[in-house]
Chain A
Amino acid sequence: GAVVSQHPSRVICKSGTSVKIECRSLDFQATTMFWYRQFPKKSLMLMATSNEGSKATYEQGVEKDKFLINHASLTLSTLTVTSAHPEDSSFYICSGWMNTEAFFGQGTRLTVV
């Protein structure tokens, strides 16, 4: 099946710094990618829809200035957590569709200390 590569898999950063998470579709082009967030023992919640060449669409309650999304090419979407706080610590996962199937990245475990 198709591969979505997400990097880094784990990151620890200090409060106030920014962290960039990359999501690449390795063998398909994705005009749209989706970013999810998952808290411990909880389900995946959609944060935003990343659109190639245009602005991302954010879900209600997700701060667009805090979670910057860039989708500059058909194979790369990035999520930057700006001015990170401990409450931003979470598991972040990206996803893209190829034909009729959704594929997920490996996820990024962000810990803000």
Chain B
Amino acid sequence: GESVGLHLPTLSVQEGDNSIINCAYSNSASDYFIWYKQESGKGPQFIIDIRSNMDKRQGQRVTVLLNKTVKHLSLQIAATQPGDSAVYFCAENRSGNTPLVFGKGTRLSVIA
């Protein structure tokens, strides 16, 4: 299940199940959105991105959905594996070569 509190929200899933991580972004002018995975003590690792002219994009085992009407982004991970355990951040950007604005992050915990 998912919990939200003073710490990062945590999503716990069974190995092999699908995971859905949600993010609300803030700037309606943002036109580029990215999901990052961050493991402990490391920098963010690119997972998948999507531009505002699309509402869905698929990668290997991952799908990003964009709903501009409600400024919502989601990351779906199929057949979640223990190696997927990490903190996931969404980030938004406008016009490239400008700072990314990161969401709060969600900790994904995969139960073997």
Contacts and interface: CB of A to CB of B under 8 A. Distances in A.
Interface of A: 1, 6, 32, 34, 36, 41-46, 49, 91, 93, 95, 97, 100-107, 109
A106 B93 contact: no
Interface of B: 7-8, 32, 34, 41-46, 49, 89, 91, 93, 96-97, 99-105
Contact of A46 (B32, B34, B46, B99): B99
Nearest to B7: A41
Nearest to B104: A43
A95 B91 CA distance: 13
Nearest to A108: B43
Given A105-B43, A106-B42, A106-B43, A43 B99 contact: no
A6 B43 contact: yes
A44 B96 contact: no
A contact face: mostly helix, strand, loop, or mixed: strand
Contacts of B101: 46
A104 B44 contact: yes
Contacts of A101: 46, 49
A6 B44 CA distance: 13
A52 B8 CA distance: 35
Contacts of B41: 91, 107, 109
Contacts of A97: 96-97
